[in-house]
């Protein structure tokens, strides 16, 4: 007789106490659990318009070759990105979502005893990935819900290998200016790499926002990560990329799974990149609706963080998870931020005008503020 799991399973001690990522609730799960027909998801900062029709066509065509392994080099996608960004292909790496590139950075650059500087309410995967690697996350408090880049620079020591900055940041939506980022980079000692996560880059409309790829072009110790999951509407296919010096890319390639992006994902991403009109429509809708949603929340007395991304984050004034549950019961999925240490806050992705109106109505109905 084979032994029972209780007999053979030993929980890895180096994982003790580590948390896992809590993703946005899937629509089908909420429909099933609550018996609701109409459920809207504003919890994972997805594109409410869906993928570009050109990307769907390309994905279908790529399916015909699904019996063949994908191109491990993602040659066509990297060539398309190279032309789009104006950087050589040797400076590009493609991954299974941009989080995959972040994983590779931790794997490649963090040895035993090394650390990574991360701000306190930064995108949770930075801390989780680093801690699962070597428990080397060094958290630096934010200033006014924004990465405090001066303090992060001061937190760098002789065992720091990576500094993570999401610009704009998720879940706060806040951002750092060009001068601050350049000052941080200028002060980094040799051997330290700044990871600039620009997952929401396409939505930004601020002249003071630094385009990280310019820093890479100028030879700065920076890797920029970007994604096809947001403005390009391909979150379900998992494609992201990194832009860095060829030496940095070379280190990542040593630890990367060669076939980490599927041929379908590669083809869809290249087609999505070409559909600039779809990205423009997405960005225009999102900016206009973000102003409307944020304005409505402010008018109701909520504190709303200034966001350059495709979501807004607001203080509910009570336990955010309670408001989240009440919204869920009305078929509206948003994101509670207690896992980020922001107990009173909720993050809501910007959807279509109709979805946003439904969210605002549901919030009004479930909010303690609306009670007499």
Ligand X SMILES: Cc1ncc(COP(=O)(O)O)c(C=O)c1O
Tally of CB atoms within 10 A around 178? 15
What is the distance between the alpha carbons of residues 34 and 329, in angstroms, rounded to a whole number? 7
Closest distance of CB 179 from ligand X, Å: 22
Closest distance of CB 86 from ligand X, Å: 22
End-to-end CA distance of the chain: 65
Q: Which is nearer to ligand X, 187 or 235 (CB)?
A: 235
**Can residue 172 be called a binding residue for ligand X (CB under 6 A)?**
no
170, 307, 313, 367: which one binds ligand X (CB under 6 A): 170
In whole angstroms, how far apart are CA 228 and each of 51, 98, 218?
A: 10, 8, 25
Closest distance of CB 124 from ligand X, Å: 9
- Residue 146, beta-bridge partner list: 143
**Can residue 233 be called a binding residue for ligand X (CB under 6 A)?**
no
Helix pair angle (263-274, 75-85), 10° resolution: 20
**Can residue 123 be called a binding residue for ligand X (CB under 6 A)?**
yes
Q: Is the C-alpha dihedral spanning 217, 223, 229, 235 positive or negative?
A: positive
DSSP H/E element including 92? strand 92-95
What is the distance between the alpha carbons of residues 332 and 365, in angstroms, rounded to a whole number? 12
**Can residue 166 be called a binding residue for ligand X (CB under 6 A)?**
yes
Stretch that binds ligand X, among 70-78, 96-104, 255-263, 350-358 (CB under 6 A): 96-104
Closest distance of CB 196 from ligand X, Å: 10
- Residue 222, beta-bridge partner list: 194
Helix runs in the chain, H state only: 5-8, 27-34, 53-63, 75-85, 98-109, 124-134, 149-155, 178-186, 212-217, 246-255, 263-274, 276-299, 320-329, 353-366
Q: Which is nearer to ligand X, 122 or 297 (CB)?
A: 122
Closest distance of CB 129 from ligand X, Å: 11
**Can residue 240 be called a binding residue for ligand X (CB under 6 A)?**
yes
Closest distance of CB 166 from ligand X, Å: 4
Stretch that binds ligand X, among 8-16, 91-99, 259-267, 283-291 (CB under 6 A): 91-99
Q: Which is nearer to ligand X, 153 or 171 (CB)?
A: 171
Closest CA to 264 of 290, 234, 293: 234
Stretch that binds ligand X, among 6-14, 94-102, 177-185, 319-327 (CB under 6 A): 94-102
199, 224, 249, 271: which one binds ligand X (CB under 6 A): 199
Q: Which is nearer to ligand X, 187 or 339 (CB)?
A: 339
**Can residue 91 be called a binding residue for ligand X (CB under 6 A)?**
no
Stretch that binds ligand X, among 1-9, 27-35, 95-103, 335-343 (CB under 6 A): 95-103
Q: Which is nearer to ligand X, 121 or 161 (CB)?
A: 121
Number of residues that bind ligand X (CB under 6 A): 13
Stretch that binds ligand X, among 59-67, 93-101, 151-159, 333-341 (CB under 6 A): 93-101
Contact 163, 156 (CB under 8 A): yes
Contact 273, 59 (CB under 8 A): no
47, 52, 176, 227: which one binds ligand X (CB under 6 A): 227
Closest CA to 105 of 315, 319, 265, 254: 254
Q: Which is nearer to ligand X, 241 or 324 (CB)?
A: 241
Stretch that binds ligand X, among 67-75, 227-235, 328-336, 355-363 (CB under 6 A): 227-235
CA 342 to chain centre: 18
**Can residue 48 be called a binding residue for ligand X (CB under 6 A)?**
no
Positions in the binding site for ligand X (CB under 6 A): 45, 97-99, 123, 166, 170, 197, 199, 227, 229, 235, 240
């Amino acid at each position: 007789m084979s032994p029972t799991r209780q007999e053979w399973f030993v929980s890895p001690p180096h994982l003790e106490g580590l948390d896992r990522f809590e993703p946005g609730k899937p629509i089908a799960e909420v429909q099933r659990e609550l018996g609701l027909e109409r459920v809207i998801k504003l919890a994972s900062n997805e594109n409410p318009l869906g993928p570009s029709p050109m990307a769907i066509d390309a994905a279908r065509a790529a399916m015909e070759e699904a019996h063949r392994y994908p191109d491990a080099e993602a040659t066509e996608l990297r060539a398309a990105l190279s032309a789009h960004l104006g950087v050589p292909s040797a400076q590009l790496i493609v991954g299974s979502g941009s989080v995959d590139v972040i994983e590779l950075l931790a794997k490649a650059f963090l040895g035993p005893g090394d650390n990574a500087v991360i701000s306190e309410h930064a995108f949770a995967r930075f801390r989780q990935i680093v801690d699962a690697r070597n428990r080397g996350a060094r958290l630096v408090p934010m200033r006014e819900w924004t990465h405090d880049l001066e303090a992060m620079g001061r937190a760098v020591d002789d065992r720091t290998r990576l500094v993570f900055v999401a610009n704009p940041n998720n879940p706060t939506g806040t951002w750092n200016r060009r001068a601050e980022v350049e000052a941080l980079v200028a002060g980094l000692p040799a051997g330290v790499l700044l990871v600039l996560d620009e997952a929401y880059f396409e939505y930004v409309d601020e002249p003071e926002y630094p385009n990280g790829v310019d820093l890479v072009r100028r030879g700065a110790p920076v890797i920029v990560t970007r994604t096809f999951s947001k403005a390009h509407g391909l979150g379900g296919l998992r494609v992201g990329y990194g832009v860095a010096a060829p030496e940095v890319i070379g280190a990542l390639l040593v630890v990367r799974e060669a076939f980490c992006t599927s041929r379908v994902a590669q083809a869809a991403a290249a087609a999505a990149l070409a559909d600039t009109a779809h990205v423009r429509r997405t960005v225009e809708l999102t900016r206009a609706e973000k102003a409307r949603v944020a304005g409505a929340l402010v008018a109701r007395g909520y504190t709303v963080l200034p966001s350059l991304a495709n979501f807004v984050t607001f203080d509910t004034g009570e336990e955010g998870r309670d408001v989240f549950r009440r919204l869920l019961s009305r078929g509206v999925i948003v994101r509670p931020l207690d896992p980020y240490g922001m107990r009173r806050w909720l993050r809501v992705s910007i959807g279509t005008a109709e979805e946003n109106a439904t969210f605002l109505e549901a919030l009004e109905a479930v909010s303690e503020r609306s009670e007499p």
